[in-house]
Structure 1
Amino acid sequence: MGKIFKERTSIDEALRLFLERISTTKKTEEISLETCTDRVLAEAVISERNVPHYRRAAMDGYAVRASDTMGASPTNPVMLQLSDQVEEGSLTWVHTGTAVPEGADAVVMVEDTIAAGNLVEVRAQVYPNRNVGQIGEDIKEKDVVFEEGHLLRPCDAAVLASLGLDRVKVFKKPVVAVIPTGDELVSRKKGMAVPPPGMVLETNGLMSALYVKKWGGIPRYLDIVPDNPDRLKMAIEANMDADMILLSGGTSVGIRDHGPEVVSALGELLVHGIGVSPGKPAALGVINNVPIVCLPGYPVAGLVALNFFVRPGIRKLAAIPEIPETILKRRLAAKVSSKIGYVSFIRVVFEGDKVRPLTGAGAGALSSVAKADGYLLVPENIEGYDEGEEVDVFLIE
């Protein structure tokens, strides 16, 4: 007698059960600023200097004593002497970013002057500190520049460099072991010839590994494991040093599907059977505090499970802050049907200011994802959307 799903868990409940068993890794490393983009700070950054550390000109022009420009205007210019130092009645040329000389407390923009030999006609009045960047105006010594947990961007690297830093402490990326399973799989390493009927090239593991890398983890892409519970157990136990383990395939209820049973035997099976279509056979578990995700073998179902569980799991492991997804409002160019009790993952393409669902896009048609511009999620309590209805569209990438 075949196995059956004992129950179906909602996506939200499954994700809650999964994430509450994941602890953020606290391993850290120091890396160069050149490689720090998209890494998460493991400690606060406190400035040890002022930025700028000198008074600097904010404009090209002339450094002056503001009091010498009193009343200056195009119709009532003030004549000042060009000099190497600023004293009463004199001024000095400065470029943007250069130090403002002693004696000067303002900069007159070059647009408001006319030079004639060693004399400069000032045609605008300036006030003290006008067009002058003050010491510490950008960052003051002992300022908290970034808090622990900050996700670093290229502009942040430039700020850190301005503080005189060349390295920064970040959380290590979590290692995610990707284990493809299935007697029907053929390794791409053995050549790209068309496999015999009933056999397929292993591609889900490749997809999973690349998404792990994209989302901030380090993939450990392993060789294919056959549909044998003992071999699968050995593969899992050999990778318990990883921060997360993904089993690709073998998650349903057929006689060759051993993933959930092995996870249950080695640790705790949290969920098997999730209210999402495609993706129902996905399973989630924990073995010795290592989170385990059993991804369905159908490519799109596997991709759905990757998005809903692996991505947030990696974010929690790596302490990556949540970034709001881009959601577009679009009207449907055709009706969308859905099954009550399941959140439906519907791939769509843009047609002008509308979106059209892809037809013939089953769970095994991975090319439908490559063809899609985005997807929409139909809630489990409705049967779909009518043509013309406005929906939320998430971008595929």
Structure 2
Amino acid sequence: MTQRLTPSLTPLDTALAGLLQDVGPIATIELPLTEAAGCIAAGTPLLAAHPPRDSAAADGWALCANDIVGASAYSPLPLATAPVWVDAGEPMPPGCDCVLDADAVEVSGPLAQVLAEGVTGQGVRRAGSDIAGRVPAAAEGQLIDPAALLLARAAGVEKLAVRQPRLCIVNVPGAAAVTTSMIAEIARAAGLHVKTREAAARDAASIAQAFVDLACDLVVTIGGSGVGRRDAAVNALARHGDVLAHGLALQPGRTAAVARPGKVPAVALPGSPDHALAAWLALVLPLVDRLSARLPRRQVTLPLARKIASSVGIAEIALLVEEHKTWMPLAVGEWPLQAIARADAWLLIPASDEGFAAGVPVDAYLTRE
């Protein structure tokens, strides 16, 4: 049976609401720091203060500032006891509160004299100055980025609690290889655990077989979502559950579909890179955020450098690049690969809008975080 789009296109909001219905955050897991990067924090442990005690911020002589008041090159101050040398990062010796440079102290056999004064705290890193203590590496729902990993490593933490949705990509033969690679790479960069399956053929039965024994939290198919004679991805999804919408009021991405094969939400992505990416942004990202309990994604507000026109009744996604503190539109509706590569952000234009005038501030999502 040949696939057919619904007589009227499904509004994006309706399709997204159906996709997200009854979907909640997945269970947390603990991952080593190297694997937690890009995941969403799920109640990371409170970090201990770092450094745990005062330590040397530079190599030099550890002394007490009050004991060397008045010392100078013209009036060296003899020391009753030999000073202690510390390397950067070493704990400060008891009774010492400053670190002087190597040439500020002269040592000759058992005799030592100071040639400069010191100030309390000079050359010293105070306890808790890097990490105050009892703070998380990343707040729950936040992205675990290199800064969060830096704090965790400094505090001696080896694992972090995260939510990492498991994504299964079902690739339909004949789909553009660049599309499959792009979606898989974007998914991994977003912190998902990605597995890929290849359907044996383009017919519905072969594609449906790839859905058997899925152990994942969401599914995307790539290719075969259109109405061509050899397109059957949506029919295959229907064999395992409900197709909630096929044919969306979304541009690019009109032939995408949302379904529920069993209890797992699924999105059928078109094989074209621009249509697949648009459907990923509009449908899959909100699903990933719901599964991982992510806090709302950051938007950047800048005025438009040029007018964007849009058709009422169709939600359109515009690709933007930042130029001179404005958003310059690169592509709307149809996206050349070069525009995808250059884009700094994307903007969803609701179906109820005709677009935005030049100079109007718009809230755009960054393409790279």
- Answer yes or no: same fold by TM over 0.5: yes
Q: Which of these two proteins has the greater Rg computed from alpha carbons? A: 1
Task: Report 1:145-294 matches (<5 A).
Answer: 145-146=136-137, 151-165=143-157, 167-171=158-162, 173-181=164-172, 185=174, 202-224=177-199, 226-236=201-211, 238-252=212-226, 257-294=231-268
d(CA) in 2 for partners of 1:157, 1:97:
20
Residue of structure 1 equivalent to 2:354 = 383
Q: So what's the TM-score if we normalise by structure 2?
A: 0.76
Contact 1:41 1:168 in 2 (8 A): no
Residue type at the aligned position of 1:26: A
d(CA) in 1 for partners of 2:323, 2:140:
43
Contact 1:248 1:302 in 2 (8 A): yes
1:97-144 CA-to-partner distances (Å, cap 9, x unmatched) read 33322333x2164499575963223446x45x6654455555578x35
Q: Report the more deviating stretch, 277-286 or 227-236.
A: 227-236
1:80-113 CA-to-partner distances (Å, cap 9, x unmatched) read 324655xxxxx55544433322333x21644995
Residue of structure 2 equivalent to 1:24 = 25
1:22-68 CA-to-partner distances (Å, cap 9, x unmatched) read 3333262442x344422344553245x66334432345554333443
Residue of structure 1 equivalent to 2:12 = 11
Distance 1:226 1:355, change over 3 A: same
Residue 331 of structure 1: CA displacement? 0.7
d(CA) in 2 for partners of 1:92, 1:387:
66
Q: 1:339 aligns with which of 299, 311, 320?
A: 311
1:219-255 CA-to-partner distances (Å, cap 9, x unmatched) read 333324545333332222x252222111223434566
Contact 2:71 2:77 in 1 (8 A): no
Residue of structure 1 equivalent to 2:283 = 309
d(CA) in 1 for partners of 2:41, 2:245:
33
Residue of structure 2 equivalent to 1:44 = 44
Q: So what's the TM-score if we normalise by structure 1?
A: 0.72
Task: Report 1:340-379 matches (<5 A).
Answer: 340-347=312-319, 355=328, 357-358=330-331, 362=334, 366=337, 368-370=339-341, 375-379=346-350
d(CA) in 1 for partners of 2:185, 2:258:
20
d(CA) in 1 for partners of 2:40, 2:363:
30
Residue of structure 1 equivalent to 2:95 = 103
Contact 1:348 1:357 in 2 (8 A): yes
d(CA) in 2 for partners of 1:346, 1:55:
52
Distance 1:108 1:244, change over 3 A: closer
Alignment partner of 1:121 is 2:115: yes
**What's the secondary structure of 2:194's corresponding residue?**
strand
Percent identity of paired positions between Structure 1 and Structure 2: 25
Contact 1:41 1:151 in 2 (8 A): yes
Residue 206 of structure 1: CA displacement? 3.0
Residue 213 of structure 1: CA displacement? 2.0
Distance 1:388 1:266, change over 3 A: same
Gaps of 5+ in 2: none
**What's the secondary structure of 2:245's corresponding residue?**
strand
Residue of structure 2 equivalent to 1:196 = none
d(CA) in 2 for partners of 1:6, 1:133:
69
Distance 1:258 1:136, change over 3 A: same
Residue type at the aligned position of 1:209: A
Distance 1:233 1:144, change over 3 A: same
Contact 1:263 1:285 in 2 (8 A): yes
d(CA) in 2 for partners of 1:357, 1:139:
42
Contact 2:5 2:255 in 1 (8 A): no
Residue type at the aligned position of 1:24: P
Contact 1:112 1:122 in 2 (8 A): no
d(CA) in 2 for partners of 1:255, 1:74:
91
Contact 1:327 1:394 in 2 (8 A): no
